[in-house]
Amino acid sequence: MSELAGKTAYVTGSGRGIGRAVALKLAAEGAHVVVNDLEAEPAEDVVAAITAAGGDAVAAVGSVTDADFAERFVSAGLDAFGGIDIIVNNAGYTWDAMIHKMSDEQFEAMLDVHLMAPFRILRAAAGPIRDMAKREAEEGREVFRKIVNISSVSGTNGNTGQSNYASGKAGLIGLTKTLAKEWGRSKVNVNAVAFGYIETRMTEVSDEKKTVTVDGKTVSVGIPSKVIEGVKASIPLGRAGTPDEAANGVYLLCSPESDYITGQVLMVDGGMSL
C-alpha cells in the first residue's frame, strides 16, 4: 500500500512503544519518516527496520524539550526529504504523584514535554508549511498536510495522581483546536488522538517497583496487577490496546480519508471514556 507515497512524516518519541509503531505504520504506507528518540540506538534501530523494508528514514536524536530541538528536527526532514506533510507529536512520559506531594519540577516537566515541545515543533514548521501551501495554491493544487497531537483520556477526563500529565494533555487539545482554525487556510488538518490504556513499557503489569530514567529523571513504570484488572474491567472491549492498534488510530488522521476532518479528538481507548 502507498497512500502516503512521497509524503514526509515527523514522529517524536518513535524509538519505542507507540511512537515506533506509528513510524513503522507510516513508513509501510509509503511515507519517508524522521525518527526521534532520546537515545541514538533505538532511533537507529527503527531507521534500520524501515530501510530494510524498502522505506526511507533518518534519525533526529535528542530531547524534544531542548531549546534547539524543534528547528533541528524540522531541518533534518527538510534536508533529507525536502518536505513536511505529517507531524505526530508523540514523545512523552508520566511522572505521577498526588497534588499535595507533587513538586514544581514534576508539574513543569509534564507541561514542558507534552505541551511546550509540540508548540515549539509546530512553530518551527509553520514557516515552511505556509511557504509550501502558498506555492501549491498559486499552482492551483490542493495539498493537505496532517498534524496529529497525542493526548490521553487523562487530558479529556482527568486521572487521579496525574494533575501534571492531565494538564499537559488537556492543554495540547486546546493547541490542537486553535491551530485547526489558524492553519485551515493552508490546508492543514490538525487533530488529536486521546489514548486510553495501551500496553507499553510504561504501563506493563508489574507488582514490583520499577523505574526508568527519562531525560535525566527517574520515573516509576508498571502498574500493579490488581489495578490493571480494575482498568480492564472499565474498558468495554475488555482489554488494553496494543501499540499497533494505537498506531492505526493515528494513521486514520494521517490518511487522505481525513482531508475534511480537523480540530477533532479521536478517542482510541476501547470505549474506556464512555
User: For position 219, what pLDDT does the model report?
Assistant: 80
pLDDT (tens, 9 = 90+) of the chain, 274 residues, equals 589 999 999 999 999 999 999 999 999 999 999 999 999 999 999 999 999 999 999 999 999 999 999 999 999 999 999 999 999 999 999 999 999 999 999 999 999 999 999 999 999 999 999 999 999 999 999 999 999 999 999 999 999 999 999 999 999 999 999 999 999 999 999 999 999 999 987 776 666 777 777 878 788 777 777 778 888 889 999 999 999 999 999 999 999 999 999 999 999 999 999 9
- The confidence score (pLDDT) of residue 228 equals 80
pLDDT of the residue at 150? 98
Helix H or strand E segment including 130: helix 117-138
Report the distance separating Cα 194 and Cα 123, nearest Å: 22
In this prediction, residue 203 carries a pLDDT of 75
The whole-number pLDDT of residue 225 equals: 74
Grid cell of 26 as nine digits: 507510516
**Which residues are part of the catalytic machinery?**
165
Query: What number of CA atoms fall less than 13 Å from residue 120's CA on the CB side?
Result: 19
- CA-CA distance, 193 to 264, in Å (whole number)? 8
> Are the beta carbons of 203 and 77 closer than 8 angstroms?
no
Q: What is the pLDDT of residues 173-182, one digit of tens each?
A: 999 999 999 9
DSSP 101: G
Considering only CA atoms, which of 151, 222, 224, 146 is closest in space to residue 179?
146
